[in-house]
Structure 1
Amino acid sequence: MIDFVLNLAKDGGPFVWLIMVLAIIIVVLAVERFYYFHSTDIDRTDFMQGICSNLKKGNVIECVSHCDDTPGAISQIIRVAILHRKDEPVILEGAIQEAARNEQFRLEKRMDVLATLAQGCGVLGLLGTVAKLIEAFRQIGIEGSFVNLTNLAPYVGGALVAAASGMTVSFVAYMIYNVYLSRIRSILRDMEKTAYEMMYFIRSGEFISDDRDLN
């Protein structure tokens, strides 16, 4: 398998080698983001129920410590709400919004790089194709009207390899990007729910579930 890939890269030229390097970077970014999202995946409702139950008992320090020990955007939103629970509603809401912006930045970290690499691989594939076709036409110019098709085959094949490599890596990278983007949007929705529910709890002392009318 490795020999096959190396042979393709050799046929495709320097642009294919560059695409392979970018593909490795894409894999590294994808794995890092996967583990980040996986490590921050918690049952939001159960976590909030536990926190609210302990807050009713007055175990504030325990709740803050539990949020500190739990990675992810949801726990940090809850932590900020607990720390500012005695402040004015405007201050509480502002603190939660600031925490939400910070967590959104962490969620979207390196996503722009992933999107750029996905687009860049497609462009590099096109450039590799053009470069190989230029070489093919140069060979035609050298041999004239009686050009040997056997001599042109490596250039045409290399052009196809470059195009296929760029499109393949670009497609896979865009798929990963869109999957992660969907995950980020889901977390942002959960953050919004969490912020509302914590403010409601702080005002009323009652925990509301997802299926309850919030109005």
Structure 2
Amino acid sequence: MLELMVKGGWIMWPLLASSVTAAILFLERLFHLHRAQIKQDDFLSGIYTIVNRGNTAEAVSICDQTPGPVAHIIRTGLLHSDERPEELKQTITKAGLGEIPRLEKNLGGLLTVAQITPLLGLLGTVIGLVRIFMQMEQNAPLAEIGDLSGGIWQALLTTAVGLCISIPSFAGYNFLLSRVERITLNMEYAAEEVYHFLVYDRAPVGEEGHETL
């Protein structure tokens, strides 16, 4: 490995740094998105049951303890349930929009790595070709393959390594983006459900319990 790094020239070090960066960004987002995704139907059902018993404070506490944007949207709806329907809808919508940047955090960095590593590899290829022509000029007309091998190694290695980093980085970016889109759809569904529940379906205070919030 170290021998290949040496043959690839100094451009291999930025490529190595890019690969480490891509791995860190991907794993961090994967873990974050995994925690952010919950079984919203079961969660909503449990929240509805607790609220209909008149214990909104307990429902809010459960939302506080549950990670992810869906729980945050439901919590926002519960805390503003005394607002007029149109105001409540705007409040829930704003809460959902505020969660999207948190979901997409660091995805731009991963995409940047996927885009620049082929260019770094191409730069290494150009530098390698320059080395080849410099050796040919210095040793002409008796240039031998051994004199040119350094530039050839650099040209081939940097391109190959750049592509080997870029391809999985771009695949990882698209995979994470699909997870973000799925969670966003869950957020939209949860927002509509909690709004409908608070405006139309919630049991009147005192019917099944007493409001405690």
TM-score normalised by structure 1 residue count: 0.91
- Further displaced range: 78-87 or 32-41: 32-41
Deviation at 1:170, TM superposition (A): 0.6
Partner secondary structure for residue 135 of structure 2: helix
Q: Output aligned runs, 1:1-215, within 5 Å.
A: 4=1, 6-205=2-201
Q: Give the deviation of 1:206 after TM superposition.
A: 6.2
d(CA) in 2 for partners of 1:155 and 1:192? 55
Identical amino acids, percent of aligned pairs: 34
Instruction: Return the offset for 1:146.
Output: 2.2
Q: Any conservation in 2 of the 1:129–1:160 contact (CA below 8 Å)?
A: yes
Are the aligned partners of 1:56 and 1:205 in contact in 2 as well (CA < 8 Å)?
A: no
> What is the total number of aligned residue pairs between the two structures?
203
Task: Give the C-alpha shift of residue 41 in structure 1.
Answer: 2.4
Distance in 2 separating the partners of 1:200 and 1:52: 11
Higher RCO (C-alpha under 8 Å, 6+ residues apart): 2
Question: C-alpha deviations, 1:76-104, integer Å up to 9, x for none?
Answer: 01011111112012211111111111110
Amino acid at match of 2:166: S
| Whole-Å separation in 1 of the counterparts to 2:142 and 2:69 | 68
Distance 2:147 2:140 in 1: 12
Superposed CA RMSD in Å reads 1.3
Cα distance in 2 for residues equivalent to 1:38 and 1:67: 17
Unaligned runs of 5+ in 2: 204-213
Match of 1:213 in 2: none
Contact 2:37–2:183 (8 Å) recurs in 1 = no
- Unmatched 5+ residue regions in structure 1? 208-215
Q: Provide the rounded CA distance (Å) in 2 between the counterparts of 1:44 and 1:135.
A: 59
**TM, length-normalised to structure 2:** 0.92
| Structure 1 ranges of 4+ moved more than 4 A | none
